[in-house]
Chain A
């Protein structure tokens, strides 16, 4: 088992003819992801890497039964692409695009809700269910099938930690990069619930960072609703207030959103927080022994 993506995923790639879209289509295909279609307006009829290209998501869905989409189109057009996928009946949209205006995200949120579309991202590395499906830009070779669920706001920090998990023989059910934007799709709580419900996941690793209070909410959710152990790491303990640390959402504003508050919330919920990424495998081991 896994969450969100698996062998039954039928993926359509929006922006398949762009530089990034093309490159990662190859990588995802190589991993064995079931890619059924690509979308690039004006390029219908083209076959790229064995993948048929359509003018619209609706046409792609009609012809192939695609149920999941990944978006590589540039930020100014990404909100439109997300809505196009949602209106075409795609169930899960993964937006890799970085730099979406916040107002665009706010405007599309109620429409996604009405259509029942799940969104991951934007500004995220996507997700992977090892040995089944890669829907994103994560480097596939560091992942390994197993029983740990993984949720992170960051990209490369995810790779750092997953690599440590794999080296320590902690394989993963599904790893999800939820992205670094202040207004985004599925967040910690939504995914913790899914991992709690997934019979194969035995523990979850959460990688948070400064900005907002999603980690505090996750801590509360873990304390109230979760039976499975959770281990956390928070990046940005040394970040100065008022500065955007690369990710649009990673900012301490008016003294809130600090790493210290998030660590305190997790500790209160019985979630150990690693001082450095290296400690995560050992914390997991201790939690699973109990």
Chain B
């Protein structure tokens, strides 16, 4: 789960990570008031859940109230990579001596939370990793001890020569780790962390993502969720026990199991079609789930044909067939549907499907080819 920068800044403040003052605004007049109240140079920043705001013109420096108003007029309502800007953050623009990067991630290989810092701040860390990998310092944190004082200090001393400044940075590293672990984050970035002319160390931009599997124990984080339209459909599917992601193609697919669902999309592409979605109906196969899944697929106006690919293991093919029959009774559609049932109780399932007009095939490659053919009629 992603949150906005302004929400990350709220969490930083809660954990006593120093952040410049800011005001969240939804309208130009709110921006005008905020700029007047802050009464100094400000940055007007688009709040969207996508990276690359700066390059897209979504972040502007304003020296006075008039400039803030004109920045707000440009940014509010603009489109950044398909995301409409509905709110901006008006933040105190601090003087900067130098920018740094601080980030925490879960490292799959060492199975630890890993701290990454760099003297190359303000740019995307992926860029630094490509061009100057030696400029990134990585530290794998022992989960049993957490990030210890001396470790945080040693890392900070590699960025800052002044011990007093290094201690301020070390304290931020430790607070960020605490925030990260306590909120079940999967990314926590301060980029940039800045050093000011009077030797203060501040977080002036923040990004945080969270582990969906841990949201059950993070009510405060969950309350910050602001899903976009696609995510609303995904969340609704999730609540029905389905895993759904909309794509750009026109062949809808319904599959049991995530790996098989991905392989099904790949196969549609391999035979020259374009998958309209990823949809995993999961392990059990209650008829209701099949009905819900069909509704989601057929609600996508781009879908021209549907491919159902079931390999029964725990899922029983006859259950899926029953669900399909029920679904076809309540849903009326002209969109052609191809069904492939294999594995547990496939014969029974196929027998049941004879009472419908649904074409059935025995392998997934046949199903993909047939669905593509039907989508072109």
Q: Which residues of A contact B (CB under 8 A)?
A: 75-76, 99-103, 105-107, 109-111, 125, 137-139, 141-142, 152-160, 163, 180, 182-183, 207, 209-210, 212-214, 217, 233, 235-240, 243-250, 254-255, 259, 275-278
Contact = CB atoms under 8 A, between A and B. Distances in A.
Interface stretch (B34-42, B69-77, B255-263, B331-339): B255-263
A180 B283 CA distance: 14
Given A154-B260, A156-B256, A237-B266, A102 B214 contact: yes
A244 B186 CA distance: 13
Contacts of B283: 137, 155
Most buried by B among A100, A138, A244: A244
Give me the 7 closest cross-chain CB pairs, A-B, nearest first: A154-B259, A246-B258, A156-B257, A157-B259, A101-B214, A235-B262, A139-B313
Nearest to A185: B111
Given A182-B106, A254-B126, A106 B112 contact: yes
Main secondary structure of the interface of B (DSSP, over half): mixed
Categorize the interface residue count of chain B.
35 or more
Contacts of B143: 103, 106-107, 109-110
A69 B364 CA distance: 35
A103 B216 CA distance: 13
B108 A247 contact: no
Nearest to B112: A106
B269 interface: yes
A156 B256 CA distance: 7
B184 A207 contact: no
B263 A235 contact: yes
26 contacts: A75-B213, A106-B106, A109-B143, A125-B313, A139-B343, A154-B257, A154-B258, A155-B260, A159-B311, A159-B343, A160-B260, A217-B109, A235-B260, A235-B262, A235-B266, A236-B262, A236-B266, A238-B269, A239-B265, A245-B261, A246-B258, A246-B280, A248-B213, A250-B262, A254-B126, A277-B364
A81 to B, nearest CB: 16
A236 to B, nearest CB: 4
B342 A163 contact: yes
A152 B142 contact: no
Contact of B262 (A137, A141, A209): A209
A247 B280 CA distance: 10
B108 A214 contact: yes
Most buried by A among B144, B245, B261, B263: B263
Nearest to A259: B266
B247 A240 contact: yes
Main secondary structure of the interface of A (DSSP, over half): loop
B358 interface: no
Interface string B137-179: 0000011100000000000000000000000000000000000
A160 B258 contact: no
A99 B211 CA distance: 10
Most buried by B among A110, A159, A244, A278: A159
A86 B111 CA distance: 18
Contacts of A210: 262
B301 interface: no
Contact of A102 (B184, B263, B343): B184
Contacts of A183: 106, 108, 111
A24 B343 CA distance: 17
Interface in B223-280: 243, 245, 247, 255-263, 265-270, 275, 278, 280
A245 B257 CA distance: 10
B293 interface: no
B258 A237 contact: no
B123 interface: no
A125 to B, nearest CB: 8
A100 B113 CA distance: 16
A273 B243 CA distance: 27
B124 to A, nearest CB: 8
Nearest to A236: B262
A101 B259 contact: no
B28 to A, nearest CB: 31
A100 B211 CA distance: 10
Interface string B203-220: 000000001111011000
A114 to B, nearest CB: 10
Interface in B277-302: 278, 280, 283
